[in-house]
Structure formats: structure tokens, C-alpha cells
Structure 1
Amino acid sequence: MGLLKWCALLPATAAASLSVFGHKVPDTDTVTAAIVYAWELNARNISAQAYRLGELNPETEFVLKALEVPVPPLLPELSKEVAVVDTNNPEELPEGIQKTRIHSIVDHHKLSGLANAEPLEVDMRPLCSATSILYSRSKLYGLTPTKQMAGLMLSGILSDSLEFRSPTTTELDKVHAAELGKLAGLDVHEFAEGMLDAKAKVDHLSCSELIMMDTKIFNIGGKKLRVSVLETTKAAGPLAKKAELVTAMKELKEKEKIDDVLFFVVDILKESATFISSSSTATTLVEKAWKVKVDDQGLVVLPKVLSRKKQIIPKLEAAAKEEL
């Protein structure tokens, strides 16, 4: 068994000077990107270990099990030097990140205020996932991904693009997915279907867990907002829990001392998002952002809205600026 195949899959006890991780509340792209970037770094003779910053969601569990890849350990503490994937937002990273030496960042989001004392390598590209960027990097460094690494990179692309439905998808992402499917020995559509089925299996989760399954903090219009999305092929189930979700959002707002929690249920098959309001201020912001009317039940359907990064956050930021 070759060194490159397993160098990123060593147990946490193995010597590794560089900790590689993504954002809090990890999704499939952030977990797979951490593993793949650690593989790249080790192949470049830079000792690295992949970590996660939270528990896995059902889709990511499916991916790692299907590809027979060990779950990365939880980050015990910040090491002296780290590499960051799939984010550059300090709100999504461990406390103290600003005081740690950042070796590099591989990301596909907008600049979000992360500062560093020294120059560092930053690879940011408008592709649909961090793993799509990492596949481009593997070509640059002349690295041939193993079946597992190719499967991980494909998974990040399929997850973040919602199997190419999301407006974040580029033609290059589609090319990458086709190539990675061949390298991994996987039928791309069939594997994507398995991922979507796993993503929809959330009936066992509490409303608080649903809200926190895919969530990020944003500073918008001078306010601290938690914006959560639930991507699913079976939206009826979560929407039936509307009253409990509203209660959970209000409790989370008080607990975290933030200004609002916004929750969007993304129906992948219908290609729309349903906003569930838990406050009058959230309602006002969404109504202004999309020029819509939230109904008496605190709901509004937003057609063709699938991406938090490319559609939801830009709209909310634009609406907030109108108030300033």
C-alpha cells in the first residue's frame, strides 16, 4: 500500500506539525477538503493531519462510510501552525485563530475578515467547492488521486453544487466531477443520489439540531445573524415542524445573544427555498431582500433560491445596506 494513499489517513497520534481543518458545523465539503488537503501537503513533504470542528451530518457520514475513509478526529486544540479550508471567516473558526500561524487557506467564499501577522499562501477561486479547487491543485503538483481521494473530491463537488443544480456550479466543476468519477470508479449520478438520500434522513434530529446542521454566523448591516439552511429532497417533513422550529430559533437567539436566526429549507428537487420566520425583524429583512410578502404563518417560498453563498447572503446584505 503506497505512502500517498494513506499519508492523510493516519490516526491522530501520528506526528503532524500542521493541523488542517475547515469551518465549525462541518459539512461534506469542509470535511473532505481537510482530508484531501492534508493528503496534498503530505505528498509535498509537509507533515499534516486532517481534523474536524464538529460532528458529522448524515450526508458526510454516508460519504466516508461509502468510500471507507476514517472519520477525521476532532481538533483537540490549535497547534502552532494550521491550514484552513472552505472558509476564511474568523466567526467559523476556533477561538484564537488570529494568534495562530496560518500556513495557507484554500477556499471558495468571499473575503470575510480573517487577519494574519505574516504573508501566507491563499488559493481562492470561484468554483463550487473547496475540493474542486484541490483537484486543480493536484494537477498542478502532478499528483494522481487515489480512488479514495478522488471520491472525496467528487463528494465535495456534488454536495456543494447539489448535483450541479446550484448557481455556484461552473462548467469546470462539471468537468472535474466527470474526471473524478472515473478516477474513483463511481457512477457520478448514482453516487449523488445516495448522497441526497442520506442528506434527507433527518427525522431523528431535534429542531435545534436541524437549525444547527448547516449554519454560519454573518455580520450584516451591523447585526450579528445566524443564517441556517436545510438542504433536502423531502422538505415536507421539516416544514411540518414549523412551530417547533420557530421556538428553537428564538431560544438559540437568546442563548447566543445574537440579533436574529434566519432559517431556509431548500427543496433540492423543486429548486426553491422556504423561509421560516421567527421574528418581525427577520421578516422585514427577507421581504426587503426578495421583494416578497411573508404570510401570516411566517412562511414564504423563494423560487430558484438554492445557495446561501451566492444568493441568500448577497440578497440579505444588499437589503441591509438599504436601511443604512
Structure 2
Amino acid sequence: MSKELVFGHQKPDTDTIAAAMAYSYYQNQLGYETEAVALGEPNDETTFALKAFDLAAPRVIKTAANEVDSVMLVDHNEPQQSVADIDQVAVSHVIDHHRINGFNTAAPLYMNVRPYGCVSTVLYEMFNEKHIAIPADLAGMMLSAIISDTLLLKSPTTTDHDKEAVEGLAKLAGVDYEEYGLQMLKAGTNLAAKSDNDIVDGDAKSFEMGDLTLRIGQVNTVDLADVFARQADLEKAMQALMDANGYDTFVLIVTNILNSDSDLLILGKDAAKVAQAFGKELAANNRINLPGVVSRKKQVVPPLTAAFA
């Protein structure tokens, strides 16, 4: 059996890193030869989690076909979010919690896609179904992933499955998930040292909607004013990324993790239509306010997909 690489999407977040590590471990227990890798460096939040559980970050790759013939995908399936040469390797497995879009293979594969708040929750159930014990440090990373994706179980994407997984993983990791989770989330909101490009594109994904390409980034904070004090420079970074990559529209979701509200900063073609998708008018400062909106996957992408269909 040939070695396979396991990885998540570009601009990796905590769930992508944790899921790659967890699924690689899971598959190795079943007799596969796999290695967890990443398509970028871990962000501040993920680095905090890795240090908390004394784990090393997966190595970063740019391409896969130079190493393996087959790969396993976690936390994504859309080709534009994957490794640059995804079309040159076979995909044998996909574990995800997102929509299926633009994905096809030449041969049958194993897919497990469940509508949960976090792919690490899917993996937690898979470990239990196969009666594979989860090591304490890996449980800590999976716990961190669910806390991150569900904003400490406050996001509307949160399901009962996520809540059960958090309880179980916290016991395995030996931590108080509420205390630890708040510390981890705050570690990810330290934006003062981040570049403008890191803020707008550090957790961004591209989406094909109609005949347009929308780039949607998200950044968490404990004070929206801290982010928008830099708005002019953030807009320059967004415009530069649109010019360099051919994005039609760039949407930056700025989320306050303390009150679960977001402001959207919108630039590019049909920016007004983006605002209209949420029943709003685009303000002169290129922003709209969306109280209670924290989830890109469930609360932002669906109305935009409908608006641009």
C-alpha cells in the first residue's frame, strides 16, 4: 500500500490542521501509511493549541504529485481550496462538513460528509465507531478545532453532535473546555502584530458563484473598532489581492467573538448585490452590519450563493 498525504484546505485554520492530524492517525491505526501535512503555516490560534498540547505542526507542502499518487482530503472538497496540483493526484478519501461543489473523481472513493459544526466532530464519531482510542494530545487538538469552528458552541452551526464531542474530548484531554476555549479564541484575536494581508486573507476561501469568483475572508476580534481603525489599509490589501488573483468581489467578515455580531467589509464587482443578499444597503464606508452572524459556511455563503445563482 503506497503512502498517502492527508491535508485540509489552503489558509489552514485549527480544524483543518487538527483534522489532518486526527485522520492520519486514524488511518494509520487501520493499516494505511499516511502523513498529515498542511497547505500553509498555522495561525496564532492553532499555534496556541499546538503548544497547549505539546504537538508539532504538520509540515507544509506546495504540491502533492511530486510525493504521492493518492491523497486524502479533510475539511474541504472544492478544488480551488485544495493543493495546487489536486488534478494530478487521485483522491481516495474525503472527510468534510461543507457543501460539495465542483468535486469529481475518475474512480470511486470513500466519502464521509456530515452537516456538523466541525469536521473534527465527524472524526470523533468515526474513532468511536471503530473503537479506536484517541490519545490525550490529539483529543486536545480535536477539541480545539470544535471550539474554534463553533465559537465555543455559540455558532448556529453547532449541533448536538458537536456538544457531545466537546464533552468527550475535554475529558480525554483533561481540560476545562470553557476556560481553555476562551483562552484559545482570544489568542487568535491578537491582530496588532498581523499584517493587513494576514487579516484579510489569513482565513479566506474562494467561491464560484454564477460567473463570478468571490473571495470570502473572516477574522475574529474582541473589538470591531480595533480592526476598522485599519480599514483604509485593509481595503488596499483586498484590492491588491483581487487584482493579482482575478477575484471579482472580496468580502471580509469581521466577527466579535464576545457578542456574536459581524460587520462585512465588501469591495469589488457587485458589492451592492452582496449587501442586498442580506437585505441591507451598502453603506458609504463599504460595510454592512449583521447582528448574530458568525458563520461563513451557514450564514454568509448560502444567501450569497442564492443571490448570485
| Residues 194 and 53 of structure 1, relative CA distance in 2, 3 Å threshold | same
Query: Which whole-Å CA distance do the structure 1 matches of 2:233 and 2:74 have between them?
Result: 34
1:295 aligned residue (280, 283, 288): 283
2:230 aligned residue (241, 257, 281): 241
Partner of 1:61: 47
**Identity over aligned residues, as a percent?**
33
Equivalent pairs counted in the alignment come to 306
2:298 aligned residue (310, 315, 318): 310
Partner of 1:157: 146
The residue identity in structure 1 corresponding to 2:273 is L
Following superposition, the deviation at residue 225 of structure 1 comes to 1.1
The residue identity in structure 2 corresponding to 1:90 is P
The residue identity in structure 1 corresponding to 2:198 is E
Counterpart secondary structure, 2:73: strand
Partner of 1:3: none
Query: Which whole-Å CA distance do the structure 2 matches of 1:25 and 1:71 have between them?
Result: 14
Q: Deviations over 1:78-98 (max 9, x none)?
A: 121111000001001112212
1:231 lines up with 2:220 in the alignment = yes
Aligned residues of 2:214 and 2:247 also touching (Cα < 8 A): yes
Partner of 2:196: 207
Following superposition, the deviation at residue 100 of structure 1 comes to 1.0
The residue identity in structure 2 corresponding to 1:311 is Q
1:1-324 → structure 2 map (5 Å cutoff): 17-75=3-61, 77-78=63-64, 79-279=68-268, 281-282=270-271, 284-321=272-309
Counterpart secondary structure, 1:274: strand
For structure 1, which segment, 93-102 or 147-156, has the greater mean C-alpha deviation from structure 2 after superposition? Answer: 93-102
Counterpart secondary structure, 1:269: coil
- Structure 1: 5+ residue runs without aligned partners? 1-14
The residue identity in structure 2 corresponding to 1:101 is A
Counterpart secondary structure, 1:65: helix
Q: Please give the TM-score of this superposition, normalised by the length of structure 1.
A: 0.92
| Residues 76 and 215 of structure 1, relative CA distance in 2, 3 Å threshold | closer
Aligned residues of 1:98 and 1:115 also touching (Cα < 8 A): no
The residue identity in structure 2 corresponding to 1:62 is F
The residue identity in structure 1 corresponding to 2:36 is A
The residue identity in structure 2 corresponding to 1:43 is Q
Counterpart secondary structure, 1:205: coil
Following superposition, the deviation at residue 16 of structure 1 comes to 7.4
Counterpart secondary structure, 2:6: strand
The residue identity in structure 1 corresponding to 2:109 is L
Following superposition, the deviation at residue 44 of structure 1 comes to 0.6
Aligned residues of 1:196 and 1:233 also touching (Cα < 8 A): no
The root-mean-square deviation of aligned C-alpha atoms, in Å, is 1.4
Partner of 1:11: none
Aligned residues of 1:98 and 1:114 also touching (Cα < 8 A): no
Query: Which whole-Å CA distance do the structure 1 matches of 2:246 and 2:79 have between them?
Result: 18
Counterpart secondary structure, 2:60: coil
Counterpart secondary structure, 1:51: strand
Q: Deviations over 1:239-293 (max 9, x none)?
A: 11111111111111101122111111011112111011223621x1222111112
Aligned residues of 2:249 and 2:266 also touching (Cα < 8 A): no
Q: Please give the TM-score of this superposition, normalised by the length of structure 2.
A: 0.96
Aligned residues of 1:233 and 1:268 also touching (Cα < 8 A): yes
Aligned residues of 1:253 and 1:260 also touching (Cα < 8 A): yes
- Structure 2: 5+ residue runs without aligned partners? none
Following superposition, the deviation at residue 77 of structure 1 comes to 3.2
The residue identity in structure 2 corresponding to 1:222 is D
Partner of 1:5: none
Aligned residues of 2:62 and 2:83 also touching (Cα < 8 A): no
The residue identity in structure 2 corresponding to 1:318 is A
The residue identity in structure 1 corresponding to 2:306 is A
Counterpart secondary structure, 1:186: coil
